[in-house]
Structure 1
């Protein structure tokens, strides 16, 4: 199969025309290297690609200042930059000699250190882009929404010619993260404990985070669980959705909701290989909510922030979309094409005062169910409504 065009390509080009350094971050195997190599063929400029996991490429940077100076007019791509974090100071000195745009692209498989060190050392010189798993907006025509939902958006999982190969790839992906990648990021923990936690998080995706429950089940302390969850989030393997509480004098739920970032990983942990297997399961709705959130995260504008809303009196809505301090929309996610709202949904809409409230379904018609309340399928929301909010 030919390369799948990624929407981020043009954004990377734009940033390279202005910033000396562009950083592309995201989990392993999400397609960062493929995207950058594709980008390199379109720039009309000589490029050098260095993979710091290769000893030969790492050796080229023994005297990094000399190497960069000798290749000053080329775009230098450094993959797995976190392996050699001391490069940041050298990069800054080289960049500041000319301040020319498009000198370096840095790739990192997530790392709190990568982001913190680069933002401090290269402040004002670097633009960040996050590559998400393949989204509906990028999905080739030969694949359905349900295939993307079940297999997830990691290219090697989605494109596998047989379900068992997709399953095998995902198992290897999880094993490598547990036994190598998270260790490289500095997580000092037994792989069995992290796998059990990751599995528990998969079964809890879409729910309010209750760290003490996980701690009790794993036989470790709550602060330790919090540290492990932070590492998984820093590795882009899960995400927390904070509660919305701006300027509201209500008794609100204060804990975040937790989601895996890819439904392929979620389904692997809960033992689902097909849509028919999932459809009758009690966690099908939570899986659908996780999928919808992942698509909105991949498609939203940077200025759009996401929250959930829930009060102790029963008012709730799955997503609150803000821009600045203003609520611009809400969305209730329903795993049905004939959705019905609860009393708590209507109270939440009134509390938040958004100009439009969506009910996102798998594949319903697109229509107003009441004033300011629109039912629409996910694909329509992503392609038509989210870009103009």
Structure 2
């Protein structure tokens, strides 16, 4: 069988495809949720093509949306797999879907897509508890772009018991290209940097003018775009709403509302703080990152050359890039793994902390340098002392090309380990 193609070229297979197929085999409703233009429609079309009696309805079409709103009960009646694109535009369909799957509880009845965190929207009814599985689809990971399943978040927990991997390193310029390119299919398809920036600009403006206004009444869209620029410049830093409010001359409450909206439509992601004390985690300050590094670079006016040769912003954008690559991998990791950051009152920090459901911990520190020193492991050593036997490994990801050991559980690896390391 020939590879499927789209107007953007050959389809790049998604690591989430296996998850969706598995979910449809034993779950009545499956929701693929993620940012606009991240490839949800392409993925669901590919999956639907393998079902004999599938039907797709896209709520982006005004006529289809009108039918869904006028007669939702008839709209959701279909004996086979019914794919509904952009379900957030017609939340009134969820109760009829619930009735359908309660009447006929066969798995694989509905495959939904959404461009907002559907179950977090207050306008929705009690939705589909126990009947629906949600799978997040992010922009492309680096492994997907290279035709591989990125395995770092699983492999790091086995690193201490395995030989050091021999991994090619990416130069600073090659990493800068990965960052400014981002992972949206439309951006990847555009080899001309100028055309890529035009797409990213249009994408951000559309989200602000359309999607966010669908969720809330925003009187000053320019403030929201300025907030996104501040977030991009502070990628990987602590999220302090009061400081952002001062820069924007608005209230901290307004900033918090804007941040909630941006996270709702997958523009930003907040990384919670890790602590051995579960109560402390709930109130600690999160970090923030742009979901797509290409958008972050666009908001800051950076192209590949400026980012590679500039000093101040390469480090923060590289950290944000790593945080979001880790976030993508959590979707298809073999284990249930959560992502945090770690920071003490004495300003000792670890950029990313991965924790398994049974309490094992791995730390990841990101360095924009081509050399690594013992001092770069300061935060990881503190985390190791605090967690004891639960500490699986600590890794400094850096822009060099050597895999090095700094102790039984402390390693330095090239950034490319994120998408090339797997045990």
Question: What is the TM-score when the length of structure 1 is the normalising length?
Answer: 0.91
- Sort the Cα spacing of 1:365 and 1:275 in 2 relative to 1 into closer, same or farther, 3 A: farther
Whether 1:52 and 2:59 are equivalent positions in the alignment is yes
| Other structure's SS at 1:17 match | helix
> Residue 313 of structure 1 aligns with which residue?
346
| Other structure's SS at 2:421 match | helix
1:251 is displaced (CA, Å) by 12
| Other structure's SS at 1:208 match | coil
1:64 is displaced (CA, Å) by 2.6
* 143-152 or 79-88: bigger deviation: 143-152
Contact 2:141–2:328 (CA under 8 A) maintained in structure 1: yes
> Residue 358 of structure 1 aligns with which residue?
395
CA separation in 2, counterparts of 1:11 and 1:207? Answer: 32
* 370-379 or 177-186: bigger deviation: 370-379
209, 219, 229: which is aligned to 2:239? 209
> Residue 63 of structure 1 aligns with which residue?
71
35, 40, 54: which is aligned to 2:43? 35
> Residue 298 of structure 1 aligns with which residue?
328
- Sort the Cα spacing of 1:126 and 1:66 in 2 relative to 1 into closer, same or farther, 3 A: same
Per-residue Cα deviation, 1:317-372 (whole angstroms, up to 9, x for no partner) = 11111113624211111112312234444333322331311111245222312221
Which runs of 5 or more residues in structure 1 are unaligned?
A: none
Contact 1:136–1:379 (CA under 8 A) maintained in structure 2: no
CA separation in 2, counterparts of 1:333 and 1:207? Answer: 13
Per-residue Cα deviation, 1:269-291 (whole angstroms, up to 9, x for no partner) = 11111145333231111111000
CA separation in 1, counterparts of 2:279 and 2:72? Answer: 56
CA separation in 2, counterparts of 1:372 and 1:273? Answer: 37
| Other structure's SS at 2:10 match | coil
Contact 2:59–2:86 (CA under 8 A) maintained in structure 1: yes
CA separation in 2, counterparts of 1:196 and 1:155? Answer: 25
CA separation in 1, counterparts of 2:95 and 2:193? Answer: 46
Aligned residue pairs total 382
**CA RMSD in angstroms, aligned pairs only:** 2.6
- Sort the Cα spacing of 1:247 and 1:217 in 2 relative to 1 into closer, same or farther, 3 A: closer
Contact 2:363–2:383 (CA under 8 A) maintained in structure 1: no
Whether 1:137 and 2:143 are equivalent positions in the alignment is yes
Per-residue Cα deviation, 1:93-122 (whole angstroms, up to 9, x for no partner) = 111111011111111111455666779321
382, 385, 396: which is aligned to 1:347? 382
CA separation in 2, counterparts of 1:196 and 1:203? Answer: 11
1:68 is displaced (CA, Å) by 3.2
209, 219, 230: which is aligned to 1:200? 230
Contact 1:304–1:321 (CA under 8 A) maintained in structure 2: yes
> Residue 182 of structure 2 aligns with which residue?
152
Whether 1:173 and 2:203 are equivalent positions in the alignment is yes
CA separation in 1, counterparts of 2:308 and 2:225? Answer: 22
Ranked by relative contact order (alpha carbons within 8 Å, sequence separation 6 or more), the top structure is 2
Whether 1:324 and 2:324 are equivalent positions in the alignment is no
Q: How does 1:104-143 map to 2 (within 5 A)?
A: 104-112=110-118, 120-140=126-146
| Other structure's SS at 1:335 match | coil
1:254 is displaced (CA, Å) by 2.9
CA separation in 2, counterparts of 1:117 and 1:21? Answer: 20
- Sort the Cα spacing of 1:31 and 1:368 in 2 relative to 1 into closer, same or farther, 3 A: same
Contact 1:81–1:114 (CA under 8 A) maintained in structure 2: no
Which runs of 5 or more residues in structure 2 are unaligned?
A: 1-8, 148-169
Per-residue Cα deviation, 1:56-105 (whole angstroms, up to 9, x for no partner) = 22244332323433x2x221111111111111111111111110111111
CA separation in 2, counterparts of 1:85 and 1:222? Answer: 30
Whether 1:82 and 2:88 are equivalent positions in the alignment is yes
| Other structure's SS at 2:303 match | coil
